[in-house]
Structures are given as structure tokens and as C-alpha cells.
A and B are shown apart, each in its own frame.
Chain A
Amino acid sequence: MRAFWRALWAIVWKDLAAEVRSRELLSSMLVFALLVILVFDFALVLDVKARHSVTAGVLWVTFAFAGTLGLNRSMAQEKDRGCMDGLLLAPVDRSAIYFGKAIGNLFFMFIVEAVVLPVYSLLYNTNLFKPGLLLVVLLGSVGYVAVGTLLSAMAVQTRTRDVLLPILLFPLVIPVLIAAVNASTAFLQGWELAEISPWINLLLGYDVIFIAGAFMVFDYIVEE
């Protein structure tokens, strides 16, 4: 068990250390996220009223799009110099590799979200920093990354690697997106807790089911 945690944190540390050096993953995610917000602004002509009702939708589409960029890049780094083989050669449980990569990806998601939320608040003069919303962001990101890490490990081994990830990922994370958008809207508009709790439960359920599922099938993705 100790070896498991050691390997897991080694992988997280390695991903973060490499990112501190190159900054290529976060910078591309962040620039892209801001671009998506801008594009939405022009596409939807966000007047005060419309803006209010679509805030959650714009945020989650931004996270989801920027997320695929990060997931792709993070797994491509493992493939480029054959590093995935290097990880697999180590005497560690395969799930440590999965959770290590997933936690690294989650960390990058959080950084992007930590930048996007204040920027959005600033641009549209609203306050997005509500505890409820942050909880939704946490739960939604966990589910998204749990599936995304697994599928990016799959996509990176295909011929069509860069284009395939969103196609594989989005249909499967639709429950996360629907639940997260609704829960976020609910918190922003101050709904009753009884109306919000089904969404939170759905997010929790999704997270648990797909973390467990990914944990069980990851071996089959990386081992030949």
C-alpha cells in the first residue's frame, strides 16, 4: 500500500514539475479557455438578461473544451518518448499510474478553473465565488477527469489521436455536464436546497461509478 501511494505521488510530482518547466499544457488550456468565453460573448451577444441565464452553461462548456486540450497533451507526453512503457516497466500497480495521471490532470483543471472564475466574474460583474458553486466545480471536474484520463489513454494509442478524444469523451460526460450546469445555475440563482440536491447526488453517483469503472478497466487499456 505504501508503494502504491509513493508511486502515485511520484507521478503527480513528475507531471507538475515538468509543467512548471514547460508551461505548455496550462498556457494552452488557459488561452483557449479565455478564447471560448470571448467567442461565447460574441456568439450569444450576452446582454445582461441573457448572460444571467447562460452563465453556468458558458462556464462548463469552457471547462470541458479546455479540459480536452489538457488531457490530450498530458497523455501525449507519456507516449512521445515511450514514457508510458517506462511507467509500465516499474513494479507498481497499474491503478497507481491511472490515479497519478488523473490527479495531475485534475490539478490542471483546478488551475484553469481558478483563473476562469475570477476573470468571468470581473468581465460580467457577477460574483461566482459561492461555496455551493465551488462544490459543483469540484464534483464536476472529478467526474470529467476520471473518464477523460481513461479515454485519453485510449485515444493516444490510435491513429487519429488528437481528434478522437472529444468524440469519445463528450457523449459519456453528458450526465456530468447536464448536472453541473443545472446545479451551478441553481446555486447562482439561489434555489431551494431540495431542488439542488438531486443534481449533487447525480454528480456524486457519476463520480463514484466512473472512478470505480475506470479503475477496473485501466489495465486493459495500457497492457498489451
Chain B
Amino acid sequence: MQPKPRTLQILDLVTVLFFLAAVGMVFFYAPLEAVMGQVQRVFYFHVATAWVGMLGFLVAAIAGVAYLVKQDRKWDIVGLSAVEISLVFFFIAIVSGSIWAKPSWGTWWTWEPRLTTAAIVELVYAAYLLLRQGLEDPERRARFGAVYAILGFISVPLTFISIRLFRTIHPVVVGSGAAAFDMSPAMLQTFLFSLWTFSLVFADLLWHRIRLGRLAERVEALKLKIND
């Protein structure tokens, strides 16, 4: 087994440091928002996790195209890894959205376009995992996974547009607008820093997950060799 690459070790460390710094900034550097109070602090990580979620699905779609063109198994591992990580982050985004929604809109869940789209996207990629589960042949699993990741990603903007159209034509029950407050410079800095930090977290986890996928593949290969 190959030892953990040096760059990855460094990335792990940097990610942890950035994460601690981001937590520090959210709680101690960013000022208290006047209207919403403490709960507004969830905003920084809420947007950052949602951003990572979308980033992962973009990566999965690109990996899907790359797999179909190159037929190289490594792209399948990349696609699967990205979807798995993004599912978790998107879930965190949805939950933190709820936490924010409760005090500011008085309800745990609103059928706000972004939130609703997020829930549907979550289902698209849960279906992706179920599809993979139903297939034995690894090559077909990779091909179908790639196709579904691409289709899913294409459908996301259309879903968002349709829900948004729906909500603007119909009277909106609760207030719209997620970031309906003015950000002070310190808030903006914290916000951008969180985005950057979570991108690092994503890159780091993706690397680990891909490495895990490759190791699993090696185990599989060794097993086959023994049985031969």
C-alpha cells in the first residue's frame, strides 16, 4: 500500500487550520447582525456547504462526460466520490437552512425556490446511488452512473427556474430573499473566507475518497489474483 502522499498530508493540515480560523471568524470576527441576531451566523456555513454541494455535482457531471469519452475507470471513482461528498454537504445546507428559517420566517421549512431545489437535487443524487446499487457489472455501473450524473446536472437549473417561476407568479406566503440584509465588510470577509475554507474541505475530502476508491480497487484486484 502506498503511503499517504506528502501533498495530501499538507492539505489535511491546511484544511484543519483554515476550518478553525473560519469558525473563529464566524463567531468572533463577524459582527452581530442587527435584525436576525445570532442565528444569522449560520448563514456563513449554510451558503458555503450549499456551494460545496453544487461544486461536487458539477465535478460529478464533468467526470461523467470524461468517463464516457475516455472510458477510464478513474473518472468513475471521481464521479462517485464527488456525489457522495456533495450529498452530505447538501444535507447540511438544507438542515442549516431550516435552522435559519425557523427564527427568521417562523417555520422550519419554506417552499422557497433555493431550498426546494436543494431538496429535489438531493433526491436526484439519492437516485444516482440507488441506480448504481442495482447494477452488478462495474463497467455498466460506471456508464449508467455517468449518464445519470450528466442528466441530473442538466435538470437542476430547469428545476430551479420552474420553482422560481411558480413562486413569483403565486403569492409568496413568507418573505423571500435569503440574504436580504446588507453585509458589512467584516461580514463579507467572513463569508468569502468560509466559501474558500469549504472549498478546501471539499478538495481534501474528495482526494481522500478517491484514494479510498483506488485502494478498494486494488483490494479487488488482489482478491481476483488469489482466486485465479
Contact = CB atoms under 8 A, between A and B. Distances in A.
Instruction: Kindly state the interface size class of chain B when it binds its partner.
Output: 20 to 34
A200 to B, nearest CB: 11
Interface string A158-198: 11110010011001101100110010000000000001001
Nearest to B169: A195
A159 B124 contact: no
A158 B132 CA distance: 9
Nearest to A177: B162
A179 B159 CA distance: 10
A168 B132 CA distance: 11
B120 A154 contact: no
Interface in B152-171: 152, 154-155, 158-159, 161-163, 165-166, 169
Interface string B108-136: 00000000000010011001001101111
A206 B169 CA distance: 20
Contacts of A198: 165
A108 interface: no
Interface in A133-154: 147, 150, 154
The DSSP consensus for interface residues of chain A is helix
Nearest to B64: A217
Given A164-B134, A213-B154, A179 B123 contact: no
A75 to B, nearest CB: 14
Contacts of A172: 124, 151-152, 155
B150 A213 contact: yes
A146 to B, nearest CB: 11
B207 interface: no
Interface string B56-69: 00000000000010
Interface hub of B120, B133, B140, B151 (most chain A Cβ within 10 A): B151
Contacts of A158: 131, 134-135
A178 B164 CA distance: 11
The 7 closest A-B pairs by CB, nearest first: A158-B134, A175-B158, A178-B162, A175-B162, A160-B134, A171-B124, A171-B123
Interface of A: 147, 150, 154, 157-161, 164, 167-168, 171-172, 174-175, 178-179, 182, 195, 198-199, 202, 205-206, 209-210, 213, 217, 220-221, 224
11 contacts: A147-B151, A154-B148, A159-B135, A172-B155, A175-B162, A178-B159, A182-B166, A217-B150, A220-B146, A220-B147, A221-B143
